[in-house]
Structures are given as C-alpha cells and as structure tokens.
Amino acid sequence: MIRAGRLFLTAILLIAGCTSEAQQNADRDRRIQEKLAAPNPIEASDSLWMEELTYIEVRDLIAGGFTTAIIPTGGIEENGPYLATGKHNVILRALCPAIARNLGNALCAPVVAFVPEGSFDPPSGAMHFPGTFTVRDETYHALLVDIAESLRVHGFKDIVLIGDSGGNQRGMAAVAGDLNKRWAGSGVTAHFVIEFYTPGWEETEKYTEDVLGVAETRNDGYHDDIWVTAMMMVTDPASVRYHERVEADLASINGIDIAPMEDAIELGKKMVAFRAEYTANVIREAINK
C-alpha cells in the first residue's frame, strides 16, 4: 500500500514537472514573439551596418525589402611603414555601405577581419611580420558559412560575398558553392562576387588615371599605393598616419602627394563611388540571372 502511494506521488510529481516545463517553454516563446512584434519606440538609424542597428531596425528593414546582405572580408597584415595592418577593413568601412546604398535594398554584415594570411609553423606570407593574424582555410570556411547561415535564418534571400584581398577569393568561392548546394530550392542564394576584387581594383585604377588624371609616377616599394591610401583616408586619415607623414615630409606615395588632406579624401571618395557603382552593377546582374 505504501509502495503504491509512493508510485502515485512520483507520477503526480512527474506530470507536474512536465506541465511546468511545458508552461515555461510556452511563456518563453510568448515573450520572444512579443519582442519580435514590438514596435520601434524611436526614430530608426540610417546606418547600413547591421552591427550598428538594433534588432528592431534590422527586422523592419528586412520586412521593407532589404533582403540582400553583403559579407565583406578584409584582413590584418603588413602594409608598409605608413598603413595600419587593418588596411582592407578600413577600405571596406567606406566601400560596403556605398555598395549597399547603390543597391538600395542591402545591408552590410560586420567586416570579416580574420582571413588566411599564411601558415604558422614555419611562418609564410604576411605571417613573417608582427601584427598579422591568420586563420586556417577550414576556420575561414566555417566562419563564413556560419555568418551566411545566420543571415539566411533572419530572412535574407541574396547573400553576397566580397573580398578586398587576393587571398580571400578562393575560400569565398568554395563557401558560395557549398551554400548553394545546401540551400538548393530554398529561395536563398549565395553570390561570390570576385569582380569586386578583380577587375574591380584594376578598373578603379584606370578610372583614376583616365578620368581623374591621377597616375603614379614611381614605385616606393611598399604594400601600398595611392588607391589604397586615398580610400583609407575616406574612413580615417590616421590609418595612413597622415599627420605624422606631413610632419616628417613624407606625405606622398608612389609620386603622388596626399596633402592637403581634403584633396586626398575627395580623391578617395571618387574612387569609392566608382568602385561601389561598378560592384553594385555586377551584384544586380548576379541576382537577376
């Protein structure tokens, strides 16, 4: 009799526990749905960087047709005595939102700064120089896949991969291919846009020389040029050590002066606008295929 009572009590407790857990799950789901449906209590930001937006702002933009997401990949490497190691990331801070703005329905994921730059033991490539960070190919691949999957989950339909460094391209191509196999029939597509890098860089150089009349006259021997420097200055003149170079009478690169600052920044803005429009046109063609 006592044993039967204990069994009955155990059963009651188990049922109560299951009911309590189910209720907790239901309450949790209800709270999530309430947050997802919450109106924006303030004016929305006009940033196109997802990391600078609230979840409500991203939600409303997606609902309003911003279903293209750009994953920009940069790098951290040696770039000579004047440029910050995050050169590519600095350039992308100007270029990605310019591309997104040109498209009219796109947002930028955070810049992927950690990319393959060489091996660890023995060091190769840029890993010979302090301040460089590298990741294994498989790490890079996994990171890009998870970023893209995050965007898919939230409702983006066209996920674009661009890279400002040559070493990024092969990995992005592989990731886009793998994702499109995985997403087949889902209505979501990954687009690897190599044209941002090549011939995007070359076309920007030609535009600068042929249209703007700015051409390098020598090679100073650094991992640097006027196109890199001017576009970096659009985001942050300190990233090219502008003031220090002026003070040291070294405010030039490959025969082109970068002073006065305002002129170099204006040159960089024209380069950014050209390369952004060039890339946006390629992205539109890829999406509309």
Give the percent of the chain with pLDDT over 70: 93
Q: What is the distance between the terminal CA atoms of the chain, rounded to a whole angstrom?
A: 76
CA angle 178, 179, 180 (to 5 degrees): 95
Q: Which CATH architecture has domain 50-287?
A: 3-Layer(aba) Sandwich (3.40)
Residue in the structure block whose two tokens are 């990949």:
73
Residue in the structure block whose two tokens are 């040559």:
166
Contact 79, 223 (CB under 8 A): yes
Q: Is 34 exposed, middle or buried (0-12, 13-18, 19+ CB in 10 A)?
A: exposed
Q: What is the pTM of this model?
A: 0.92
Domain parsing of the chain, residue ranges: 50-287
Chain segment 10-46, per-residue pLDDT in tens: 555 445 555 688 788 888 888 989 888 889 999 999 9
Contact 118, 80 (CB under 8 A): no
Can you give the three-state secondary structure of 30-94, one letter per residue? HHHHHHHHCCCCCCCCCCCEHHHCCHHHHHHHHHCCCCEEEEEECCCCCCCCCCCCCHHHHHHHH
Chain segment 49-66, per-residue pLDDT in tens: 999 999 999 999 999 999
Chain segment 80-92, per-residue pLDDT in tens: 999 999 999 999 9
